Amino acid sequence: MSAQKSASRTKPVSAIGAFVGFVGFSALAGLLVTIGVTPAIAVAGVTTTSTIGVFESLPEYIEIGDLPQRNEVLAYSNGQPVHLATVYDQNRQELQFDQISDQLKNAAIDGEDKRFYDHGGVDMTSLVRAGVGSLAGGLGESGGGSTLTMQLVRNIKMQQALELPTPEEREKAYNDAVEQTIPRKLEEMKLAIGLAKKYSHKEILTGYLNIAYFGDQTYGVQAAAQHYFNKNATDLTPQEAASILAIVQSPNSRNLSDPKYYDANVARRDVILKSMYAQKHLTKEQFDAAIASKPADYVHLTEPNQGCQSAAGNGSQFFCDYAVKVVKQMSQLGATEKERATAWRNGGYTVQTTLDLDLNGQQKDLLNTFDPNTESRFSLGGALNSVEASTGRILTMAQNKDYDQSLQTPPTATSINYSVDKEYGGSIGFQVGSTYKVFTLLDWLKAGHGLNESVNGTPHNTSRWTQCGSTITSNWAPKNDSAGENGNFTVARATALSVNAAFASMAAKLDLCDIRQTAQDLGVHSADEKTELNAYPSSILGTNNIAPLTMASAYATIANNGTYCSPIAIDNITNAEGKSLGGQPKQCKQVLDPSVAATAAFAMRGTIASGTAVGAQTPDGTQLFAKTGTTDDADQIWLVGASSKVATAYWQGNTDGGKNNLRHYLPGAGWGSYASQRAHVWQQAMIPINAKHPADPFPTPSQTALRGNSVAVPDVSGKTADEARSILSSAGFTYVDGGAQPGAGTAGTVSSTSPGAGSLLSTGSSVTVYTTDGSQSTVPEVAGKSLQDARSTLGDAGFGSVNVSDQYAKGGKECTVAAVDPGAGTATAKSTALTLQLFGDKDGKAPKDCK
């Protein structure tokens, strides 16, 4: 329940009730006099009335306690901590006694409790006057002789009510706290006496001014001064101080949020000013000036910039929301969820986050340009996330949509944070496409394979796989993204070109569960945090739904020589007393052998140099690696990569499950398609990052790492099939009969293999052997020979049909061979008719005698 419901506290009573009230107050006044002397006498001597009995049964003590305050969230700009957001349940900034202006203190005491420093929590004079006044119809606006201490009791109980867990509990307790009845007044009195025993007058006055509700969701005098006057509570004029205190008794009808309340405020303000003057806390000149002033002249309403929606910095709101959620889970705030929630609500924390406002703003501008939130043809999302490799610190979390937590968000905005898991932002992640291939590559290297090993990149069906140690049957024949990609590829080249069939060949030699485990070792998990990562054949091409931040952190592991660091959003928390509580602990673990990480980085450098991420290289020459990802329908587009210092994930895609192909949509005139711009966008994101975080070159992989445990295919050309089978088997390969092909040489001998001789393969790999049918022969060189010798040489090569051209060449010895067609060295069928051209005379004409 909102404190705004605390309207007028006047409660009419009947004439009999008023009389009982008068008698009750009179009897109680006598009791209080006695208590003032000694509580023991009161208990022993005046326990015969029901009023005293009720009083004695009430609790005696109440704590001022910690009041809910603002929490400040900080980010970095130019390397320095700067304000990011103010987050609170109640708009309050607690002050110490010396931070509150004397004008406010005087206004509170003169207007509410003139004998504040002379009584012990209850003022008998005011109490009796209130009892008499109740004969006129109730406890009155003053609440029935309430002292500041009694009002503090009421405010504490109101605050305690607002902190209860359910709306029903909050509403009941709040109504009980503000109820103006005799039993409630008795309770306030006894608790006020307890407060006065435990706390000094300064502490009580300070507590009162810090806790009081001043309307318009504003608590405490500092927040009220900032909200209504745009100044601090230290600097208030008499009229401003009196206007603030005028609100306390009727916060909903006397606050200064609207001119319609000004008259009511001035009426009470002037009463307070007169009391301040009477108590000689104002000079005549000060009093006259204050009375003559009008709220319109000094009210400067300033809306509180509350929450992450008001976060400073371009596009920082989603990160702010994420960081606040993370803080609420940190053990520094308490051991249980309830303790942490209470601690955060009580506030007073200063939270230093890891966000770099400058880099984040630059990335937001990139997304605004290349993934505009004004796209109306389909639901386009875009995100950039950058992570410091050696720590896991999140430097950026930019998104193309604007942050909006309202129920009716415009198409350009959303409450969903695309960068993070569902728990932290409501997104279930996106299929990551071929960026997931890196985990097959890593597992390939972990298994001892090398980058220079050749694999089959021609689309083909594979039916037998290993899954968690067991052989399974699952027919799968992935297509390649680029038409015409066929043949054998080295793993390095297959990575650069992102050849699907090649990675299927690699995965077939591995355990699908090992590939999944490698991904999990690098922190990868489904964004809904409930669905287990898939471990079936097609999952190696990125069918799992994963958050961009997760992918950035995984690639950061490779950049960090195989050490994975969990993402960190909080550098430090400072509590209300200024004590540093520390931040999220750095949680790093070596999950890859450094040589494996270096070799994978080397392979993905090829993606930028001559693969699918050409255009991503920054002009500064920083060594970078990357991997692109595109789903089957090109509805999700990725580029994830890193320098040795910072990893960045760029994602764009359909946010509503649509299958709109991002290769078919152009963001604007003069640009390519959305998908075609990814390398440029990633490059532009990395340029300022490299400037702020200068990177070192990646380690150079060893020749052993490049070769792995592969074996070169032996040269079996010219061997018989049986000889080739024996040689290949001895080398650890499986012989596959490719059949006879038209070719030269002796029929049945080997003409070629696939992969070719010298190619590196892992043992057990298949080598397809092609034999020749002997139907072809290679045209021998006959130039310069006589016609007769040429015919003989060609006949020996198997060519039985030789013709002589009627065209003659000039410049050679007459009647000798100038050329043969097909040309020398050409492999062609033996039945092919060859044509010889002879040299003629010096002019190229037919000689007289040429046989």
Which pLDDT band holds residue 670 (cuts at 50, 70, 90)? Answer: low
- % residues pLDDT > 90 (the chain): 67
Output the average pLDDT for the chain. Answer: 88
- % residues pLDDT > 70 (the chain): 90
pTM summary value: 0.76
Which pLDDT band holds residue 134 (cuts at 50, 70, 90)? Answer: very low
Burial class, 665, CB count within 10 angstroms (exposed 0-12 / middle 13-18 / buried 19+): middle
pLDDT over 80 (residue 451)? yes
Helix axes 437-446, 500-508, angle to 10 degrees: 40
DSSP state of 823: P
**pLDDT tens sequence across 565-603:** 999 999 999 998 999 999 999 999 999 999 999 999 999
* Beta-carbon contacts of residue 722 (< 8 Å; ≥ 6 apart): none
The predicted structure's pLDDT at residue 127: 66
The predicted structure's pLDDT at residue 3: 40
**pLDDT tens sequence across 81-99:** 999 999 887 777 888 999 9
Two structure tokens written together for 609: 């140099």
**pLDDT tens sequence across 738-766:** 999 988 888 999 999 999 999 998 888 88
The predicted structure's pLDDT at residue 57: 54
pLDDT over 70 (residue 12)? no
pLDDT over 60 (residue 39)? no
Find the helix or strand (DSSP H, E) in which 491 lies.
Answer: helix 491-497
Compute CA distances 399 → 87, 287, 369, 420, 553, whole Å.
Answer: 21, 55, 12, 11, 17
* Least confident window among 5-19, 454-468, 620-634: 5-19
pLDDT over 60 (residue 27)? no
DSSP state of 829: E
The predicted structure's pLDDT at residue 162: 78
The predicted structure's pLDDT at residue 669: 59
**Would the CA dihedral through 446, 449, 452, 453 be positive or negative?**
negative
The predicted structure's pLDDT at residue 499: 97
The predicted structure's pLDDT at residue 45: 33
Q: What is the CA radius of gyration of the chain?
A: 43
Domains of the chain, earliest start first: 3-57+90-298 (1.10.3810.10), 710-774 (3.30.10.20), 777-839 (3.30.10.20)
pLDDT over 90 (residue 555)? yes
DSSP string, 128-164: HHHHHHGGGTSSTTTTTT--HHHHHHHHHHHHHHHTS
pLDDT over 50 (residue 626)? yes
DSSP string, 540-562: GGS-SEE-HHHHHHHHHHHHTTT
* Least confident window among 71-80, 147-156, 471-480: 147-156
**pLDDT tens sequence across 335-374:** 999 899 889 988 889 999 999 999 999 999 999 999 999 9
The predicted structure's pLDDT at residue 9: 34
Give CA–CA dist 356/361, Å, rounded: 9
